[in-house]
Amino acid sequence: MSESFISIRDLHFSRGKRQIFSGVSLDIPAGKITAIMGPSGTGKTTLLRLVGGQLKPSQGSLSVQGLQIPELNRKQLYQARKRMGMLFQSGALLTDLSVFENIAFPIREHFDFPESMIRDIVLMKLELVGLRGARGLMPAELSGGMARRVALARAIVLDPVLMMYDEPFTGLDPVTLGTIVSLIRELNESLGLTSVVVSHDIHETFSIADHVCILAEGKVAAAGSPEELLNSDSAFVQQFVQGKPDGPMPFHYPAPDFSQDLMQGADSQC
Protein backbone atom coordinates (compact mmCIF):
# COMPACT_ATOMS: atom_id res chain seq x y z
CA MET A 1 0.00 0.00 0.00
CA SER A 2 1.27 3.49 -0.85
CA GLU A 3 1.82 6.25 1.71
CA SER A 4 -1.25 6.81 3.87
CA PHE A 5 -3.15 10.07 3.42
CA ILE A 6 -5.51 9.51 6.34
CA SER A 7 -4.36 7.54 9.33
CA ILE A 8 -6.83 6.43 12.01
CA ARG A 9 -5.68 4.67 15.16
CA ASP A 10 -7.78 3.16 17.96
CA LEU A 11 -10.69 5.51 17.27
CA HIS A 12 -13.56 5.48 19.77
CA PHE A 13 -16.77 7.39 19.33
CA SER A 14 -20.21 7.15 20.90
CA ARG A 15 -23.54 8.90 20.56
CA GLY A 16 -25.21 9.02 23.94
CA LYS A 17 -25.00 5.51 25.32
CA ARG A 18 -24.52 3.91 21.91
CA GLN A 19 -20.93 3.05 21.07
CA ILE A 20 -20.38 3.65 17.33
CA PHE A 21 -16.63 2.96 17.13
CA SER A 22 -14.66 0.95 19.64
CA GLY A 23 -11.10 0.96 18.38
CA VAL A 24 -11.15 1.54 14.64
CA SER A 25 -7.69 1.60 13.02
CA LEU A 26 -7.27 2.08 9.29
CA ASP A 27 -5.12 3.78 6.68
CA ILE A 28 -6.39 5.50 3.58
CA PRO A 29 -3.72 5.56 0.87
CA ALA A 30 -2.88 8.76 -1.03
CA GLY A 31 -4.08 9.12 -4.61
CA LYS A 32 -6.40 6.10 -4.46
CA ILE A 33 -10.12 5.51 -4.11
CA THR A 34 -10.88 3.91 -0.77
CA ALA A 35 -14.35 2.58 -0.07
CA ILE A 36 -15.73 2.45 3.44
CA MET A 37 -18.47 -0.15 3.46
CA GLY A 38 -20.62 -1.94 5.94
CA PRO A 39 -24.19 -2.61 6.94
CA SER A 40 -26.51 0.31 7.70
CA GLY A 41 -25.90 1.96 11.06
CA THR A 42 -22.26 0.96 11.37
CA GLY A 43 -21.08 4.58 11.37
CA LYS A 44 -19.79 5.03 7.80
CA THR A 45 -21.10 8.59 7.51
CA THR A 46 -19.98 9.27 11.08
CA LEU A 47 -16.46 8.30 10.05
CA LEU A 48 -16.55 10.92 7.25
CA ARG A 49 -17.74 13.54 9.73
CA LEU A 50 -14.91 12.64 12.07
CA VAL A 51 -12.41 13.02 9.21
CA GLY A 52 -13.96 16.41 8.35
CA GLY A 53 -13.74 17.51 11.99
CA GLN A 54 -17.50 17.97 12.33
CA LEU A 55 -17.45 15.44 15.17
CA LYS A 56 -14.76 14.77 17.75
CA PRO A 57 -13.75 11.25 18.80
CA SER A 58 -13.79 10.36 22.47
CA GLN A 59 -10.47 8.56 22.13
CA GLY A 60 -7.82 7.73 19.54
CA SER A 61 -6.05 9.64 16.81
CA LEU A 62 -7.12 10.73 13.33
CA SER A 63 -4.68 12.49 11.05
CA VAL A 64 -5.10 13.84 7.53
CA GLN A 65 -1.78 14.52 5.79
CA GLY A 66 -0.15 14.45 9.22
CA LEU A 67 -2.58 16.98 10.74
CA GLN A 68 -4.28 15.70 13.88
CA ILE A 69 -7.85 16.77 13.03
CA PRO A 70 -9.39 16.50 16.54
CA GLU A 71 -6.64 18.71 17.98
CA LEU A 72 -6.99 21.57 15.51
CA ASN A 73 -8.51 24.84 16.66
CA ARG A 74 -11.37 26.39 14.71
CA LYS A 75 -9.16 28.46 12.41
CA GLN A 76 -6.81 25.57 11.63
CA LEU A 77 -9.77 23.26 11.04
CA TYR A 78 -11.33 25.68 8.55
CA GLN A 79 -7.98 25.95 6.77
CA ALA A 80 -7.78 22.14 6.60
CA ARG A 81 -11.34 21.94 5.24
CA LYS A 82 -10.45 24.19 2.31
CA ARG A 83 -8.46 21.20 1.03
CA MET A 84 -11.35 18.77 1.54
CA GLY A 85 -14.45 18.34 -0.55
CA MET A 86 -17.52 16.45 0.56
CA LEU A 87 -20.46 15.21 -1.44
CA PHE A 88 -23.44 14.85 0.88
CA GLN A 89 -26.00 12.13 0.33
CA SER A 90 -28.76 14.72 -0.13
CA GLY A 91 -26.56 17.04 -2.18
CA ALA A 92 -27.14 19.77 0.46
CA LEU A 93 -27.37 22.52 -2.16
CA LEU A 94 -28.26 25.97 -0.85
CA THR A 95 -31.90 26.20 -1.87
CA ASP A 96 -32.03 29.99 -2.25
CA LEU A 97 -29.16 30.06 -4.78
CA SER A 98 -29.11 29.00 -8.44
CA VAL A 99 -26.88 26.18 -9.69
CA PHE A 100 -24.29 28.73 -10.81
CA GLU A 101 -24.35 30.59 -7.49
CA ASN A 102 -24.16 27.33 -5.52
CA ILE A 103 -20.91 26.44 -7.24
CA ALA A 104 -19.59 30.00 -7.02
CA PHE A 105 -20.45 30.12 -3.30
CA PRO A 106 -17.16 28.73 -1.87
CA ILE A 107 -15.11 30.91 -4.25
CA ARG A 108 -17.00 34.07 -3.31
CA GLU A 109 -16.64 33.23 0.39
CA HIS A 110 -12.88 32.63 0.31
CA PHE A 111 -11.48 34.68 -2.56
CA ASP A 112 -11.88 38.12 -4.03
CA PHE A 113 -11.73 36.99 -7.66
CA PRO A 114 -13.14 39.10 -10.50
CA GLU A 115 -16.53 38.03 -11.79
CA SER A 116 -15.12 36.86 -15.14
CA MET A 117 -12.73 34.47 -13.39
CA ILE A 118 -15.48 33.09 -11.14
CA ARG A 119 -17.62 32.52 -14.22
CA ASP A 120 -14.85 30.62 -15.98
CA ILE A 121 -14.13 28.39 -12.96
CA VAL A 122 -17.83 27.63 -12.42
CA LEU A 123 -18.40 26.81 -16.09
CA MET A 124 -15.34 24.52 -16.13
CA LYS A 125 -16.63 22.58 -13.13
CA LEU A 126 -20.15 22.40 -14.56
CA GLU A 127 -18.75 21.14 -17.87
CA LEU A 128 -16.98 18.35 -15.95
CA VAL A 129 -20.29 17.12 -14.54
CA GLY A 130 -22.17 17.77 -17.79
CA LEU A 131 -24.49 20.45 -16.44
CA ARG A 132 -23.15 23.66 -18.00
CA GLY A 133 -26.56 24.17 -19.60
CA ALA A 134 -28.34 23.95 -16.24
CA ARG A 135 -26.48 26.82 -14.60
CA GLY A 136 -29.55 29.04 -14.38
CA LEU A 137 -31.80 26.47 -12.70
CA MET A 138 -32.72 26.53 -9.03
CA PRO A 139 -32.09 23.41 -6.87
CA ALA A 140 -35.84 22.73 -6.67
CA GLU A 141 -35.89 22.35 -10.48
CA LEU A 142 -33.20 19.62 -10.51
CA SER A 143 -33.70 15.86 -10.39
CA GLY A 144 -31.94 13.90 -7.62
CA GLY A 145 -29.12 12.86 -9.93
CA MET A 146 -28.61 16.37 -11.30
CA ALA A 147 -28.56 17.81 -7.78
CA ARG A 148 -25.86 15.34 -6.83
CA ARG A 149 -23.78 16.26 -9.88
CA VAL A 150 -24.12 19.97 -9.04
CA ALA A 151 -23.09 19.18 -5.47
CA LEU A 152 -20.11 17.28 -6.87
CA ALA A 153 -19.10 20.29 -8.98
CA ARG A 154 -19.38 22.48 -5.88
CA ALA A 155 -17.33 20.06 -3.81
CA ILE A 156 -14.42 20.19 -6.27
CA VAL A 157 -14.58 23.91 -7.00
CA LEU A 158 -11.81 24.77 -4.53
CA ASP A 159 -9.61 22.00 -6.03
CA PRO A 160 -9.45 19.82 -2.90
CA VAL A 161 -6.83 17.15 -2.36
CA LEU A 162 -9.28 14.91 -0.50
CA MET A 163 -12.79 14.11 -1.72
CA MET A 164 -15.31 12.36 0.50
CA TYR A 165 -18.47 10.89 -0.99
CA ASP A 166 -21.36 10.01 1.32
CA GLU A 167 -23.55 7.33 -0.32
CA PRO A 168 -23.09 8.76 -3.84
CA PHE A 169 -24.97 5.91 -5.56
CA THR A 170 -28.18 5.84 -3.52
CA GLY A 171 -31.48 6.41 -5.33
CA LEU A 172 -30.12 7.09 -8.82
CA ASP A 173 -31.42 5.88 -12.16
CA PRO A 174 -29.06 3.52 -14.06
CA VAL A 175 -27.77 6.20 -16.46
CA THR A 176 -27.03 8.74 -13.71
CA LEU A 177 -25.56 5.98 -11.58
CA GLY A 178 -23.14 5.04 -14.35
CA THR A 179 -22.25 8.72 -14.86
CA ILE A 180 -21.52 9.27 -11.17
CA VAL A 181 -19.42 6.10 -10.97
CA SER A 182 -17.28 7.12 -13.95
CA LEU A 183 -17.09 10.74 -12.70
CA ILE A 184 -15.64 9.65 -9.37
CA ARG A 185 -13.01 7.54 -11.16
CA GLU A 186 -12.19 10.26 -13.72
CA LEU A 187 -11.99 13.05 -11.15
CA ASN A 188 -9.71 10.99 -8.97
CA GLU A 189 -7.35 10.33 -11.85
CA SER A 190 -7.45 13.71 -13.61
CA LEU A 191 -7.26 15.87 -10.47
CA GLY A 192 -4.90 13.56 -8.57
CA LEU A 193 -7.27 13.32 -5.59
CA THR A 194 -7.48 10.96 -2.71
CA SER A 195 -11.08 9.76 -2.55
CA VAL A 196 -13.09 8.15 0.22
CA VAL A 197 -16.40 6.64 -0.85
CA VAL A 198 -18.90 5.61 1.78
CA SER A 199 -21.40 3.19 0.31
CA HIS A 200 -23.10 -0.16 0.64
CA ASP A 201 -23.58 -0.68 -3.08
CA ILE A 202 -21.18 -3.55 -3.69
CA HIS A 203 -21.16 -3.66 -7.49
CA GLU A 204 -20.58 0.05 -8.18
CA THR A 205 -18.15 0.54 -5.33
CA PHE A 206 -16.02 -2.50 -6.15
CA SER A 207 -15.84 -1.36 -9.79
CA ILE A 208 -13.97 1.85 -8.90
CA ALA A 209 -12.33 1.25 -5.50
CA ASP A 210 -8.63 0.49 -5.14
CA HIS A 211 -9.01 -0.37 -1.49
CA VAL A 212 -12.02 -1.38 0.60
CA CYS A 213 -12.60 -1.33 4.37
CA ILE A 214 -15.67 -3.06 5.78
CA LEU A 215 -16.87 -1.76 9.14
CA ALA A 216 -18.96 -3.83 11.51
CA GLU A 217 -19.71 -3.64 15.23
CA GLY A 218 -17.52 -0.59 15.77
CA LYS A 219 -14.38 -2.03 14.23
CA VAL A 220 -12.80 -2.74 10.84
CA ALA A 221 -14.06 -6.23 10.06
CA ALA A 222 -12.10 -6.66 6.81
CA ALA A 223 -9.86 -4.63 4.53
CA GLY A 224 -8.14 -5.18 1.21
CA SER A 225 -8.55 -4.79 -2.53
CA PRO A 226 -11.96 -5.64 -4.05
CA GLU A 227 -10.48 -8.90 -5.48
CA GLU A 228 -9.09 -9.91 -2.08
CA LEU A 229 -12.45 -9.35 -0.44
CA LEU A 230 -14.37 -11.18 -3.16
CA ASN A 231 -12.08 -14.18 -2.63
CA SER A 232 -12.00 -13.89 1.15
CA ASP A 233 -12.61 -16.99 3.29
CA SER A 234 -14.37 -14.97 5.97
CA ALA A 235 -18.05 -15.92 6.32
CA PHE A 236 -18.87 -12.34 7.31
CA VAL A 237 -17.21 -10.85 4.19
CA GLN A 238 -18.87 -13.40 1.92
CA GLN A 239 -22.27 -12.71 3.46
CA PHE A 240 -21.78 -8.97 2.94
CA VAL A 241 -20.40 -9.01 -0.61
CA GLN A 242 -22.93 -11.57 -1.81
CA GLY A 243 -25.85 -10.06 0.11
CA LYS A 244 -26.88 -13.34 1.74
CA PRO A 245 -29.68 -13.14 4.32
CA ASP A 246 -28.13 -15.82 6.56
CA GLY A 247 -24.71 -15.55 8.13
CA PRO A 248 -22.81 -14.00 11.02
CA MET A 249 -24.14 -10.50 10.27
CA PRO A 250 -27.46 -10.09 12.16
CA PHE A 251 -30.42 -8.71 10.22
CA HIS A 252 -32.36 -7.84 13.39
CA TYR A 253 -31.60 -4.96 15.73
CA PRO A 254 -30.91 -6.42 19.21
CA ALA A 255 -34.25 -7.29 20.85
CA PRO A 256 -35.66 -9.59 23.55
CA ASP A 257 -37.08 -13.00 22.62
CA PHE A 258 -39.90 -12.59 20.07
CA SER A 259 -42.41 -14.96 21.74
CA GLN A 260 -41.86 -13.33 25.14
CA ASP A 261 -42.26 -9.92 23.55
CA LEU A 262 -45.60 -10.94 22.02
CA MET A 263 -46.83 -12.43 25.32
CA GLN A 264 -46.27 -9.19 27.20
CA GLY A 265 -49.41 -7.69 25.64
CA ALA A 266 -50.31 -4.12 24.84
CA ASP A 267 -49.36 -2.72 28.27
CA SER A 268 -45.70 -2.84 27.35
CA GLN A 269 -45.49 -0.75 24.19
CA CYS A 270 -41.71 -0.75 23.87
Partner 1 sequence: MLDTLQRIGAFTLDTLSSLGRASLFLVQVIAGIKSTLLRPRLLLRELYSVGVLSLLIIIFSAIFVGMVLSLLGYVTLVDFGAESSLGVLVSLSLIRELGPVLSALLFSGRAGSALTAEIGLMKATEQLASMEMMAVDPIHRIVTPRFLAGCISLPLLSVIFMSLGIYAGYLVGSVWLGVDEGSFWSQMQSKVEFGYDVINGVIKSMVFAFVVTWIAVFQGYNAMPTSEGVSRATTNSVVYSALAVLALDFILTAIMFVK
Binding site for partner 1 (CB under 8 A): 52, 54, 78-79, 81-82, 84-86, 88-90, 92-95, 105-106, 109-110, 151, 154, 158
| Least distance to partner 1, CB of residue 52, Å | 6
**CA–CA dist 194, 236 (Å, integer):** 28
Question: Of the two residues 156 and 220, which places its CB atom closer to partner 1 in the complex?
Answer: 156
**Parallel/antiparallel/unpaired status of strands 84-87 and 162-166:** parallel
Q: How many angstroms separate the CA atoms of 187 and 154, rounded?
A: 13
What is the β-pairing status of strands 59-64 and 84-87? unpaired
- In the sheet with 59-64, reading across from the earlier edge strand, the strands are 18-29, 4-15, 59-64, 67-68
Concatenating the DSSP letter of every residue in 102-128 gives HHHHHHHHH----HHHHHHHHHHHHHH
Comparing CB distances to partner 1, the nearer of 92 and 134 is 92
In the complex, the smallest distance separating the C-beta of residue 166 from partner 1, rounded to whole angstroms, is: 9
Q: Is the dihedral of CA 239, 242, 246, 249 positive or negative?
A: positive
Give least dist CB 206 to partner 1, A. 26
> Which CB atom, from 138 or from 230, has the smaller least distance to partner 1?
138
Least distance CB 151 / partner 1 (angstroms): 8
Amino acid identity, position 118: I
What single string gives the DSSP state of each residue in 24-82?
EEEEEETTSEEEEE-STTSSHHHHHHHHTTSS--SEEEEEETTEEGGG--HHHHHHHHT
Please identify, using beta-carbon distances, which residue of 129 and 223 lies nearer to partner 1: 129
Pick between residue 105 and residue 113 the one whose CB is nearest to partner 1. 105
Q: Name the residue nearer to partner 1 (CB basis): 82 or 244.
A: 82
- Provide the minimum distance between the beta carbon of 78 and partner 1 in the complex, in angstroms, as a whole number: 4
Shortest gap between Cβ of 121 and partner 1 (angstroms)? 14
